[in-house]
Amino acid sequence: MIRESGSFRDPDGYVFWHGERLFRALYQSGAEAYRTFRRSQVAKWAEDHHLLTRSWELLPDEWKGFDFLPPDIAGVVEQERVPFISYPYEWTFDMLKDAAVVQLELGCAMARDRLTVKDATAYNLQFLHGKPIFIDVLSFQPYREGTPWVGYAQFCRNFYYPLLLQAHCGIDFQPLLRSYLDGIPVMTVRRMFGVRAWKRWATLKHVVGQAWLQQSFESKMPTLKDDFPTAQFSLDHNIRLMQGLMKDLGKLSLRRTSSHWSSYGEKNSYSVQVRRLKRAFVSEQLKKISPSCVWDIGCNTGEYSLLAAEYAPRVVALDSDAASVNALYLHCQSQNITRVLPLVADLIDPSPALGWGLEERKSILERGRIDCVMALALVHHLCLMRNIPLGHLFAFFGRLGMRHLLIEFVPKTDPMAKRLLNNRDDVYPWYTQPNFEREAARHFVIEERLELEKGGRVMYELVHRLTSPSHVAISMSTDEGQSPSA
């Protein structure tokens, strides 16, 4: 049994893994709340409409053997697992917006069944089969008459403010959400907005109003619980607030939908012939490898992520340019492509472990096994722009633990590489194909090599030395020691 390191705040229960299966241990309060929720009509409706992951309570006999559970556990729920856990600071604008809509839709649906969602953290949502889905089945509890929506401020911090900042101020929310794990505080948002917050009714209410009321009473906050009956709160009031927010969200859109990188695919130096050769090489290798999970690092707008999705059930498409990743997400939504998970991530500064004890949010490298990594048209950016030596580059790829690496070498003579060095001294004498192959060979075996053009770009299929046939024994012992993915 492995207890999920990020699951400790909820007084109603916690998440644990048993083998490859995902469970929630419920204390008495949690068991009662879960059973009430399970009996409601909304439970099945939400599962059928892909708003909530499927879950089911085990019979006492079924978890009798779980002798690692403490005696105060009153029930165990098993739930559908999400193969790759992602965090809001890795989502794009439209991903966060869609997740916010799911949170609100679920909140409204629960309210109609006299239930309430007790919190509104964006970490309760994940992307499964290309769509956002709520995963915390212990978040639902019966509505207490006369109470307001307690998750409202958290909803603003986690969803609404980041989207407002991006839509109205053009500020990327990802670095902010990475710093503020419980969402961006209202006072910070208020300061960032400045006078612009007065321009719209929505920001006047949710930012200016909330910030001022918060500030007015921060030195001596009144106990509001006694005033709830006077204020005549009701479920209708909560539903109206959620519907109002949903309407406001509908009006938010990205100011800047393109970037230098989002049109990079059209600007690159490939001829039709080279592009065809490259696609054929990638297709052929993926067909041969038949991976279950591919990472496409530096995916741009996802041309090769989409190609990989034809051969792999799961593709994690990573790029540091949020506009490109958002374009890929919208493309997947419009074409109903469910195998690709686009995420904003920079290989130079990948998401670290964060939160309580540095265990609450896992680093991006700790969230599941990878079979194949694609690093296409990436190496020259890392080496020539970001000064990553080739030795460090392959040592990093070696640490990722995947068996296959599809990588493209872009020589300094390539027009795109030349452009990177246009106004800079070439201090990279080591950036050559022989050095590339020598450093690669420290960690990988070169299985395939294809020169796309004479003296031009070269495609490689590399196999990790630890998993190549001569190292099977080492590989097996490594696999056995690996903990299940999140």
- Residues forming contacts to another protein in the complex (CB under 8 A) are 148-150, 152-154, 156-157, 182, 185-186, 201, 204-206, 208-222, 224, 227, 230-233, 237, 241
* Cβ distance to another protein smaller for residue 154 or 301: 154
Smallest separation, CB 216 to another protein (Å): 4
Smallest separation, CB 228 to another protein (Å): 9
Rounded Cα distance, 257 and 350, in Å: 23
Rounded Cα distance, 153 and 138, in Å: 20
Smallest separation, CB 423 to another protein (Å): 47
Q: What is the dihedral of CA 32, 34, 40, 42, to 10 degrees?
A: 160
The total of other beta-carbon atoms located within 10 Å of residue 231's CB is 12
Rounded Cα distance, 344 and 87, in Å: 10
* Cβ distance to another protein smaller for residue 77 or 186: 186
Residue 205 corresponds to which tokens in the numbers above? 């209410």
The total of other beta-carbon atoms located within 10 Å of residue 350's CB is 15
* Cβ distance to another protein smaller for residue 153 or 169: 153
* Cβ distance to another protein smaller for residue 161 or 281: 161
Which residues 6+ apart lie within 8 Å of 463 measured at CB? 403, 404, 405, 444, 445, 447
* Cβ distance to another protein smaller for residue 184 or 377: 184
* Cβ distance to another protein smaller for residue 72 or 226: 226
Smallest separation, CB 151 to another protein (Å): 9
CB 2 within 8 A of CB 14: no
CA atoms lying within 13 Å on the CB side of residue 475: 13
* Cβ distance to another protein smaller for residue 160 or 460: 160
* Cβ distance to another protein smaller for residue 91 or 160: 160
Rounded Cα distance, 435 and 416, in Å: 20
Which residues 6+ apart lie within 8 Å of 252 measured at CB? 97, 163, 164, 167
DSSP state, residue 199: S
Smallest separation, CB 248 to another protein (Å): 13
Smallest separation, CB 121 to another protein (Å): 12
β-strand partners of 375: 407
Smallest separation, CB 222 to another protein (Å): 5
Smallest separation, CB 58 to another protein (Å): 34
